[in-house]
Chains A and B, each alone.
Chain A
Amino acid sequence: MAYFAVDRLEGRYAVLVGDDGSQHEVPRKQLPKGTTESSVLEVSLDESGKPDWAGARLDAAEKERRIKRALALLEELKKRDPGGDIVL
């Protein structure tokens, strides 16, 4: 099993990014109903490592965990922003 994030939707395709950095353009109709941008899919891989998109499963809890993790870090980063106009 591996996780793939739906990076974006481009017309009939969903662009998925694997946790290993790989990118895949998959026809949206092959993915579970309800797949949107930012969805996280749990996907099984065959022996050669090829994802089985037809068997993909939406993992809402993993999506929530990732967003919370990112927002927590963003909150830390925002403390470095002095605000207002900036001269570089």
Chain B
Amino acid sequence: MTRMISFRTKWIRALTCWVLFVSLSAAPAFAQDLVIRFFNVGQGDAALITSPEGKSALIDGGPNTGLASYDLDSLHIDTLDLMVASHNHADHLGGLWDILRTITVRAYMENGVAATSNAYFDVISMLHAKHVQYLAATPRTIQLGSVALRILPMPAPDKTQNNSSVGVLVTYRGFTALFTGDAEGKERTYWEAHAELPHVAVLKVAHHGSVNGTDPAWIEATRPMVAVISVGAKNMYHHPSEKTLSTLENAGAQVYRTDRDGDITVAVDSLGGFTVRAGKSEPVRSWPAASASPH
């Protein structure tokens, strides 16, 4: 009898191990790889980077609609290792105050160009009150676990926020993604000359696909395989422009848009290959490691 129980126990244990192994093998790569989520926050930007070690960085918080905060809450995120305001316009900064108020933020980076809105002052006041570590957007590397965030050099101080956007190049095992804020021609031209940009796997298209956020020289310099446009449906600024869309499509970039695709999730595996999932039910498209590496 004892021998039978022992045999049954062993069998159950073996079966449990097998089920666990199969479950983990079949699980989406999201659990253990680099994941970049472009949140659908309407007309604005918000993207969450999660390293394989579980470290996280939020680049922009969208407008003050609470959507980015809701998305973080849905993912049960109560700490951000880094928050970046690409620049201090309300469609990028507006949602940050609420996030700063409700969860722990270890470090904050911004462009240092003061805005005159109370919304901006409220954010920096919150940083001060909560003793958040401030990081200037100087050329430097922020190591987020095994993921490196290289901060691009900024041109000479500009009075406009767009051309003072914080540029962030994300690298992980041969994979690269480039965040550009709302950089217009002046800043992008500077980056082309001074930032030693590689060709990238994923490009966050500057300025919601506006005509001043993309040009053929920029796309030639970055040669993205995937271009993500964070933009609101039926926005009154007519973003993205037809010119930007045709420039990207002519260059062979696969274009994803938050207004049509909803949240866009990029999952990068340990070899640098990646998949893109648009929305919740759309099929996932894959790019193998060899094609995802700088080319």
Complex Cα gap A11–B212 (Å): 10
Q: Is B159's CB within 8 Å of the partner chain A?
A: yes
- Could you tell me if A37 and B159 are in contact, using CB atoms closer than 8 angstroms? yes
Q: Is B144's CB within 8 Å of the partner chain A?
A: yes
- Could you tell me if A77 and B142 are in contact, using CB atoms closer than 8 angstroms? no
Interface residues on B, range: 35 or more
- Could you tell me if A80 and B142 are in contact, using CB atoms closer than 8 angstroms? no
Render B201-236 as a binary contact track against A, CB cut-off 8 A, 1 for contact.
Answer: 000000000000000000000000000000000001
Contact partners of B125 in chain A: CB under 8 A:
73
Q: Is B115's CB within 8 Å of the partner chain A?
A: yes
- Could you tell me if A73 and B160 are in contact, using CB atoms closer than 8 angstroms? no
Complex Cα gap A77–B138 (Å): 15
- Could you tell me if A21 and B119 are in contact, using CB atoms closer than 8 angstroms? yes
Contact partners of B81 in chain A: CB under 8 A:
88
Contact partners of A87 in chain B: CB under 8 A:
143
The residue from B82, B114, B140, B160 contacting A70, defined by CB atoms under 8 A apart: B114
Complex Cα gap A88–B50 (Å): 12
Complex Cα gap A23–B63 (Å): 10
The residue from A5, A37, A76, A88 contacting B106, defined by CB atoms under 8 A apart: A88
- Could you tell me if B90 and A17 are in contact, using CB atoms closer than 8 angstroms? yes
Render B145-178 as a binary contact track against A, CB cut-off 8 A, 1 for contact.
Answer: 1000000000000011110000000000000000
Complex Cα gap A82–B125 (Å): 20
Q: Whole-angstrom distance from the CB of A26 to the nearest CB of chain B?
A: 11
Q: Is B64's CB within 8 Å of the partner chain A?
A: yes
- Could you tell me if B116 and A13 are in contact, using CB atoms closer than 8 angstroms? no
The residue from A23, A40, A73 contacting B116, defined by CB atoms under 8 A apart: A40
Given contacts A25-B236, A80-B133, contact A70 B121 (CB under 8 A): yes
Q: Whole-angstrom distance from the CB of B19 to the nearest CB of chain A?
A: 36
Given contacts A66-B121, A70-B114, A77-B128, contact A88 B82 (CB under 8 A): yes
Show 20 residue pairs from A and B whose CB-CB distance is below 8 angstroms, ordered by the A residue. A7-B115, A7-B117, A8-B90, A11-B237, A15-B90, A15-B91, A23-B63, A23-B94, A66-B114, A66-B116, A66-B121, A69-B121, A70-B116, A77-B124, A77-B128, A78-B136, A84-B140, A85-B143, A86-B141, A88-B143
Give me the interface of B with A, judged by CB distance under 8 Å.
55, 57, 63-64, 81-82, 89-91, 94, 106-107, 112, 114-121, 124-125, 127-128, 131-136, 138, 140-145, 159-162, 236-238
Give me the interface of A with B, judged by CB distance under 8 Å.
5-8, 10-11, 13, 15, 17, 19, 21, 23, 25, 37-40, 63, 66-67, 69-71, 73-74, 76-78, 80-88
Smallest CB-CB A-B distances: 10 pairs: A70-B114, A77-B134, A5-B117, A88-B81, A5-B116, A17-B117, A66-B116, A87-B143, A10-B237, A85-B141
